[in-house]
Structure 1
Amino acid sequence: MASVKIENTEEEILNAAKEVFQQKGMAGARMQEIADKAKINKALLHYYYRSKQLLFEAVFKNAFRLLAPQIGKVLNDDTELFDKIRNFTDSYVSFVIKHPYLPNFVIQELNSNPEFVLKLRAEASFPSTEKFKQQVLEAIETGLIKPIDADQLLINIISLNIFPFIGTPLLMALINVDKIKYDQLLQNRKTEAADFIINSIKI
């Protein structure tokens, strides 16, 4: 019974923390607010997680463990390359719309703690890109796409999907739209980004 209670308390903490981080980001979140939302005292919160940074990492890893298998499945299934690009974009954008704190956290964490990526890479679910790279080479050889380095293509795909989330305030100001219209624009990225990439490489 004690172990069940511990698991339930930890789950409540992570759920509460996710809500607060989504609303206020890493800098604006307060441990007391997270404790209040989880309906525990701050001392107990610190018993489970000694710092806000460790709690943020736990929330991130939980979300990453949900996203990574989806991305890994897309990259390593037998889907044709263009459909794979569409599926990657759809999976990533759909997921980050539900977890909007993730891209900014990755950037922040890599800047302040470059070794954090080693923790992610050690996760069993960390995606492999080898099959994707092989598909790109085969698509070039068969004349389906223009010659392009597979790593560069993957970086292009990831960049076009990530920046609209980490650059939200700047992009909203540049294109002069409100939050409602920008959220719709993000939904449209599921197809717009994929079509842009495919049109740039196909012959």
Structure 2
Amino acid sequence: MKKLESNTEELIFKSAIAIFHKKGMAGARMQEIADEAGINKAMLHYYFRSKQLLFEAVFKKAFMQLAPQIHIVLNSDDALFDKIENFTDKYISFVLENRFLPTFIIQELNNNPDFAADFFSQAEFPKPTKFLIQIEEGIKNGILRSVDPKQIVVDMFSLSIFPFVGAPLLQKISNLNEVDYNQLLAERKKHITSFIINAIKK
């Protein structure tokens, strides 16, 4: 019975991600998610009493899948430039599979600050300790320009996430259809890596 419940919950999560990706939080309906999962609405409400609770559960699950990966990348024994490449690859690949996540974070910070504050106060965020030390050592050894290591971390996240948050605007400005824009997003893995490395190395 427990395995059946676990499989059903996983099916609900996958279906919710598909609908949230297509319709967003505001446009999604519980009936659509139930239909996508192939279950009735009563069963969906058995697991999650409301769309908001389901959305929050999906967000928590997605975030807790990404955060450990980023922590491992930033604190591995890899060389600094390899870490930058691995970060952009992991981060962008993950968000391409969870397109709702960046917009959801912004929405929740504005519309549901209590949930956001509570979640972020408990969540285990990636700690870029070793990554920051490597940048400092690179500066001391004359390999890197004199830069604030924390600015590099902000740059990596910002350059990776904004094209997803600002997708409707950027897609219009770029005059790209959805398929071509998604290709552009995938290509940013190499672009961001190259951009940051060239900006900080001597």
Distance 1:117 1:89, change over 3 A: farther
What does residue 57 of structure 1 align with?
56
Task: Give 1:130's aligned amino acid.
Answer: T
| Partner of residue 184, structure 1 | 183
- Which residue is 2:168 aligned to? 169
Q: Quick one: which amino acid aligns to residue 201 of structure 2? A: K
**How far is the alpha carbon of 1:118 from its aligned partner?**
4.5
Once the two structures are overlaid, the 10-residue window that deviates more, 108-117 or 4-13, is 108-117
Moved more, 185-194 or 114-123: 114-123
| TM-score, scaled relative to structure 2 | 0.91
1:45 and 2:44 correspond: yes
Using the TM superposition, give the Cα deviation of residue 179 of structure 1 relative to its aligned residue in structure 2, in angstroms.
Answer: 1.7
Question: SS of 2:102's equivalent?
Answer: helix
Q: Provide structure 1 residue ranges, at least 5 long, that are not aligned to the other structure.
A: none
TM-score w.r.t. structure 1 length?
0.91
Give, in whole Å, the separation in 1 of the partners of 2:91 and 2:140: 28
Change (3 A) 1:192 1:142: same
Q: Which residue does the alignment assign to 1:142?
A: 141
Match of 2:22 in 1: 23
Q: 1:78 and 1:88 mapped to 2: Cα distance?
A: 14
Counterpart in the other structure of 1:103: 102
- Cα distance change on mapping 1:104 and 1:64 into 2, 3 Å: same
Q: In 2, Cα distance between the equivalents of 1:77 and 1:117?
A: 29
Give the CA deviation at 1:201: 1.1
In the alignment, residue 96 of structure 2 is paired with which amino acid?
I
CA RMSD of aligned residues (A): 1.7
Shift of 1:76: 0.5
Tell me the CA shift for residue 53 of structure 1: 1.4
- Alpha-carbon offset, residue 41 of structure 1: 2.4
Partner of 2:119: 119
CA displacement at 1:38 relative to structure 2: 2.0
Shift of 1:117: 5.3
Moved more, 140-149 or 153-162: 140-149
Q: Deviations over 1:83-124 (max 9, x none)?
A: 111111111111111111111111111222345255245345
